[in-house]
Amino acid sequence: SDGWVYGLPELIDGQRQRIAEAQRVANPGCYSSAVILLVRPLVDAGLLAADTACSIHALSGYSGGGRSLIERWEEPERGLFKLAHEAPYSIGKLHKHVPEIMRWGSLSIEPQFLPAVGPFRCGMRVQIMIPAKALPKTSSGKAMWEALAARYANEAFIQVEPLTDSSDADELTFDPQAHNDTNRISLRVLPHPSGHVVLMARLDNLGKGAAGVAIQNLNLMLGVTEETGLPR
């Protein structure tokens, strides 16, 4: 909206200054932050076409739905917190974060977005599946990883995981709760031998996905050190 600055400090060069000088800052959504931080540098670098039809699966702790969902999942009679599986939602409608993802991720095609709630309070894992045939000829998992690593090399709260074939991954490697109680987000590129690529982000939906980035923005607007009060 006019008069508002998008509050994702790591978005592009100059975004921090825009936030610092703003009178009104719109904090990003949790899913949106994860997807945008993964795809925007790749679109800007020509490694992912803006018209790529991305498929996104996003798993969040139930606190992401606010008080009503927290009460629903923690109600003893329902027993939802004991579920042994995730619960997809928003299947038959446009999720509110999709327009935001498209606008700030520089995507011109609406992604297929399937969010889900897990039987845990906080934590988030977002996966973007990109088929080999959708990649530009100059793109690859390795090139994508190099672009992300270079873009976020000096960012205090963004960690780009090493590029591996994930053959040694176990049940805890991709834990969505790994960054709970921090303002950290970790990004990972998972190439497949067939040429397909999975992009993954993990964060605390209430940390970097909500209150953490709000504090980042407030720090910038107040002119104090950006990391003030934020655990890594």
Residues 155-191: tens digit of each pLDDT = 999 999 999 877 788 999 999 999 999 999 999 999 9
Give the separation between CA 180 and CA 167, rounded to whole angstroms.
25
Q: What is the mean pLDDT of residues 212-219?
A: 98
The predicted structure's pLDDT at residue 168: 81
User: Where are the chain's structural domains?
Assistant: 30-209
Q: What is the pLDDT of residues 221-230, one digit of tens each?
A: 999 999 999 9
Q: What is the pLDDT of residues 24-54, one digit of tens each?
A: 999 999 999 999 999 999 999 999 999 999 9
**Active-site residue, 30 included:** yes
Give the separation between CA 137 and CA 175, rounded to whole angstroms.
32
Give the separation between CA 199 and CA 141, rounded to whole angstroms.
9
Give the separation between CA 56 and CA 149, rounded to whole angstroms.
21
Q: Which pair of structure tokens corresponds to residue 230? A: 């934020």
Can you say how many angstroms the Cα of residue 188 is from the centroid of all Cα atoms in its chain? Answer: 11
Of 198, 188, 190, nearest in space to 131 by CA: 198
Give the type of residue at 51. D
CA distance from start to end of the chain: 31
30, 35, 130, 206: which is the annotated catalytic residue? Answer: 30
Give the separation between CA 204 and CA 210, rounded to whole angstroms.
8
Q: Which pair of structure tokens corresponds to residue 71? A: 């009460």
DSSP-derived secondary structure letter, 25: E
Q: What is the pTM of this model?
A: 0.96
Q: What is the pLDDT of residues 52-69, one digit of tens each?
A: 999 999 999 999 999 999
Q: How far is CA 70 from CA 46, 66, 100, 113, 126, in A?
A: 41, 6, 24, 22, 20
pLDDT > 90 in the chain, percent: 92
Give the type of residue at 159. Q
Q: What is the pLDDT of residues 120-142, one digit of tens each?
A: 999 999 999 999 999 999 999 99
30-209 placed in CATH 3.30.360.10 = yes
Give the separation between CA 204 and CA 179, rounded to whole angstroms.
6
The yes-or-no verdict on residue 1 having pLDDT over 80 is no
